[in-house]
Each structure stands twice: as C-alpha cells, then as structure tokens.
A = this chain, B = another copy of it.
Amino acid sequence: MVIIGELINASRKTIAAHIEKQDAEAIRKIAREQFEAGVDYIDVNAGTFVGKEADYIKWLVTQVQAVVAAPCCLDSPDPAVIEAGLSVHQGTPMINSISLEKDRYDQLLPLVAGTDFKVVALCMSNAGMPKTVDDRLAIAEQLVNGLLQNHVKIDNIYVDPLVQPLSVNQDFGKEFLNSIDKIMTTFKGIHTVCGLSNISYGLPNRQLLNQLFMVMAIERGLDAAIVDPLDQRMMANIAAAEALTGKDAYCMNYLKGHRSGKFKLS
C-alpha cells in the first residue's frame, strides 16, 4: 500500500497560517511526523493562495525535503504550479493530478510525458463528475491511453475514481467500490488511489465512515491512499485490511505495526 500523507494542505486553516507566516519549523514538524508514521509521499498543496501558489509550493517542497527523505506529491490542478514544485523537488515526485478536463490535460501531459513521475489520473472531465462505474471507466480509459501513448509507464499511473458523498446519493459508495475493482482488472499493472473523506460528507461519525470505506476499498483492490497518517486507527485499519485480504505475507507488517505500539485503537 502506497500511503500519501495529506496534512500539508492549505485548505486546512493551521497550515494556511503556517504558510502565510512562512513558519518553516511548523511545516517541517508536520513533515517529520508524517514520515515517522510511515508515509511514502508527502502531499504539498498551497491551492488557496491565488497568485502565490507557485511560490508557496516551492517553499513547501523545500521545507519538507530539508528534513525527510521522502518524495512529495505535488498537488495542484495548475500546470504552472506543478512546474514550480518540480523546479526544486529532489527525487521522483508524484503529480496530483491530471484529469480529462481539456486545459488541464493539454497542459499537464507534456510535463509528465516520457518521465518516470508517478501520475494521479483523476476521473473528471469537462462533462463534470462521474457517477457510475461506466462513467469512470470511460474517463479512465482515455486518460490511461493518453498517458501510455506519451510514454508514461502503466506502473506509474494511479487512477483516482473520485469519491462522491453518500449523503447525495446512497449508491455513490457502491459505484466507487465497483469502479476500483473494474479499473484494477481492466488495466493490468495499474494502481488506484483516492482521498476518500468525501464519502462521509454531511453524515455523522465521519471518521468511522472514512475508516471503513478505506477497508472496503482495499478489499476491492485499492493500493494507494491519500490519508492522515497520524490517525492511528486509520493506519491500523489499513494494515489489518491488507492482512485480512492476503496482501501481507504471514501478516508480518500487521504484526510489526502492532508490536511497535503504533496501533492505538481508542
């Protein structure tokens, strides 16, 4: 399971404040905590700062990589911002994300073409948000084919089928889960990823719903996730889900997590 730590995101008020004050130590601390919790990538997002987003993402990448030996997940719909992040990034980043929205697709594709970057391919198009499995498959197919034709390896593609809130339509959970399964079986060697907290929008006990939806998605084949790695129950659930579905040889990773005391469950 590839874990992308989601905490350094300007849509969170404390992070926005740290960015505005250019409080390097605060950002570095959150990078360190996520790294110690076991993430593979650290997401950096400065999306709320219109006009300053490019400068701020450069600063974020620099602060994060000053203290941890992990690549970043450069998180912006704006190709210029991604390019700014790339200009200071060390190692092989993840790009979050390309989609089938025309401008975004046309401008991001040349940036990732022929590279070894990991690329999140978001199932969204100019026609709007997908609802059904078929909607998602149609978008995924065009995105995946476009990336392959531009020499992005299938193993570097992470399709995000786009979670939508259960409170809007009771079938949105099921359609998403079936999409994970369908994408993983249709495109051999590909990956799926998501930030799944949208599922619980408007419902009580959001954390419980997010944690359980993660477990179901892993059961259906999800192999990467954008999460809060400091949520110990979420991390325990991910390890347990991998063990329960035969993806953790001899349950070694689950047992290791347990022994390290990382699984505080209450």
- Chain A residues near B (Cβ < 8 Å): 166-167, 170-171, 173-174, 177, 199, 203-205, 208-209, 212-213, 215-216, 219-220, 236-237, 240-241, 243-246, 248-251, 254-255, 258, 263, 265-266
* Chain B nearest Cβ from A200, distance in angstroms: 9
Partner of A209, one of B204, B240, B266: B240
* Chain B nearest Cβ from A212, distance in angstroms: 5
Query: Are the CB atoms of B204 and A255 closer together than 8 Å?
Result: yes
CB closest chain-B residue, reference A266: B266
Given contacts A219-B177, A244-B213, contact A170 B205 (CB under 8 A): no
Partner of A170, one of B170, B173, B219, B250: B250
With A212-B244, A215-B216, A216-B244 known, 10 other A-B pairs at CB within 8 A are A166-B244, A167-B251, A170-B250, A173-B246, A177-B219, A204-B258, A208-B237, A212-B241, A215-B215, A216-B245
Query: Are the CB atoms of A244 and B204 closer together than 8 Å?
Result: no
Complex A-B: 24 CB contacts under 8 Å: A166-B243, A166-B244, A170-B243, A170-B249, A170-B250, A171-B246, A173-B244, A174-B245, A203-B254, A203-B255, A205-B236, A205-B240, A205-B263, A208-B263, A209-B240, A209-B243, A209-B244, A212-B215, A212-B240, A213-B244, A215-B215, A216-B219, A216-B245, A266-B266
CB closest chain-B residue, reference A172: B246
Given contacts A203-B251, A266-B266, contact A174 B241 (CB under 8 A): no
Measured between alpha carbons, how far is A171 from B245 in the docked complex, in Å? 7
List chain B residues, Cβ under 8 A from A205. Answer: 236, 240, 258, 263, 265
Partner of A212, one of B167, B173, B237, B249: B237
CB closest chain-B residue, reference A170: B246
**5 closest cross-chain pairs (CB), A and B:** A174-B246, A173-B244, A216-B219, A204-B258, A171-B246
CB closest chain-B residue, reference A220: B219
List chain B residues, Cβ under 8 A from A254. Answer: 203
Given contacts A205-B236, A205-B265, A265-B208, contact A248 B216 (CB under 8 A): no
List chain B residues, Cβ under 8 A from A203. Answer: 243, 251, 254-255
Partner of A177, one of B177, B208, B245: B245
